[in-house]
Amino acid sequence: MANEEYTVGIDLGGTNIVAGVVKRNARKQEYEIIARAECKTAIPRPEADVCDSMAEIVKKAVKSAKLTMDDIAYIGIGVPGAVNPETRIVETSPNLFFTNWEVSKMMEERLDKYVKIENDANAAALGEFLAGSAKGCKNAVAVTLGTGVGGGIVIDGKIYSGSNFAGAELGHMVIVKDGVKCGCGRKGCWEAYASATALINQTKAAIRNEKAEFSYMLNAVDGDIEKVNGKTAFDAAKDGDLTGKAVIENYISYLACGIVNVINIFQPDVLCVGGGVSRQGENLLAPVRAIVEQERITKHNDKQTKLVAATLGNDAGIIGAACL
């Protein structure tokens, strides 16, 4: 393989699809997104329609990079759900409502390029391992706080996905027995307490339960509780709102609980936190880190897992997919 090549990485999400042309130099360990295109996922709709959209934005991104499809070595796709990289079939994707989806075959028919697939969180973890906050590490874990809680694990430089390719579903470990019902069907999953979706639900519940006549957070969303997002409580807490502070403290306790579990099990060199909520930076990570330092099993050891923000943001999934 030449030292330098062009590949395309697709980050297929429940809300958006993003394709990026990545200029790779594996020898120098350099990975650069030189062009991108995106569209709405617009789920639910048929598998073929989603593939049509992915093919369209791939072509747009390649054209924007002033390349042709002949210049592209291969295409990688990060897909939410249980993905089998060997058969290249998405066995189940609850967020997309697909089962046994032959996405690689369908995309190859549209683009005439070899297509590899991987779980989206695994792809993001690989991206951070190759070019982001875990670069240079031997073992790393990436946690993504989005619609759900995604997990990606890299051990000795390789993605760990378990014997049935459904490993690293960190969001579906139970942290509260018989707790809130999760989308997977279990009760008390970490995802049901630490995802961006969970934070939004917790914020809405706190607003509804406020006894005061004036609600700072409700006022901040113009009186429309459906406008609450993952930033609402953080912004309120920064401004000194007591209800907002309580929401964030509660959310952080749940997030830290799961992170301590992950560190105790895997002992990675780095655990990086990505996804929309991670944009809060040290406002999120500093209090989580304080809890982790008190509760991790290795608190008396000299070497400790570094808890950091993912540095690539949404680019992690693109770079990881492009480097499968």
Query: Tell me: the pLDDT tens digits for 47-59?
Result: 999 999 999 999 9
Q: What is the pLDDT of residue 98?
A: 93
Question: In what helix (H) or strand (E) does residue 135 lie, and over which residues does it extend?
Answer: none
pTM: 0.85
CATH number at residue 188: 3.30.420.40
CA distance readout (Å), 213 to 13, 26, 216 = 39, 60, 10
Cα(152)–Cα(206) distance, integer angstroms: 31
Q: Are residues 120 and 147 part of one domain?
A: no
CA distance readout (Å), 98 to 43, 167, 264, 321 = 10, 19, 34, 20
Q: Residue type for 291, please?
A: I
pLDDT in tens, the chain (324 residues): 457 899 999 999 888 999 999 998 877 788 999 999 999 999 999 999 999 999 999 999 999 999 999 999 999 999 988 899 899 999 988 779 999 999 999 999 999 999 999 999 899 999 999 999 999 899 999 999 988 898 999 999 889 988 877 788 899 999 999 999 998 889 999 999 999 999 999 999 999 999 888 999 999 999 999 999 999 999 999 999 999 999 999 999 999 999 999 999 999 999 999 988 999 999 999 999 999 999 999 988 989 999 999 999 889 999 999 998
User: Residues with Cβ < 8 Å from 66, sequence gap 6 or more?
Assistant: none
Cα(95)–Cα(312) distance, integer angstroms: 23
Q: Note every long-range contact of 157-160, with CB atoms under 8 Å and residues 24 or more positions apart, other chains counting.
A: 157/129, 159/118, 159/122, 159/125, 159/126
Which residue has 């943001």 as its token pair?
Answer: 313
* Neighbouring C-beta atoms of residue 282, cutoff 10 Å: 10
Q: Are residues 185 and 77 part of one domain?
A: no
Q: What is the pLDDT of residue 1?
A: 46
Q: What is the DSSP letter of 231?
A: T
User: Residues with Cβ < 8 Å from 222, sequence gap 6 or more?
Assistant: none
Cα(151)–Cα(143) distance, integer angstroms: 5
Q: Are residues 252 and 219 part of one domain?
A: yes
CB distance 173 to 190 below 8 Å: yes
Q: Are residues 123 and 170 part of one domain?
A: no
| Half-sphere CA count of 288, side-chain side, radius 13 A | 28
Nearest to 279 by CA among 253, 248, 254, 312: 312
Q: Are residues 291 and 153 part of one domain?
A: yes
Q: Are residues 175 and 83 part of one domain?
A: no
Number of domains observed in the structure of the chain? 2
Task: Print the domain residue range for 63.
Answer: 4-130+315-322
| Half-sphere CA count of 103, side-chain side, radius 13 A | 38
Q: Are residues 196 and 80 part of one domain?
A: no
Q: Are residues 99 and 33 part of one domain?
A: yes
Token pair belonging to 215: 């609600």
Cα(183)–Cα(191) distance, integer angstroms: 9
Q: Are residues 69 and 43 part of one domain?
A: yes
- Degrees (nearest 5) of the Cα angle 68, 39, 55? 40
Q: Are residues 60 and 193 part of one domain?
A: no
Q: Are residues 211 and 96 part of one domain?
A: no
Q: Are residues 291 and 212 part of one domain?
A: yes
Helix-helix angle 196-209:242-266, to 10 degrees: 150
CB distance 98 to 282 below 8 Å: no
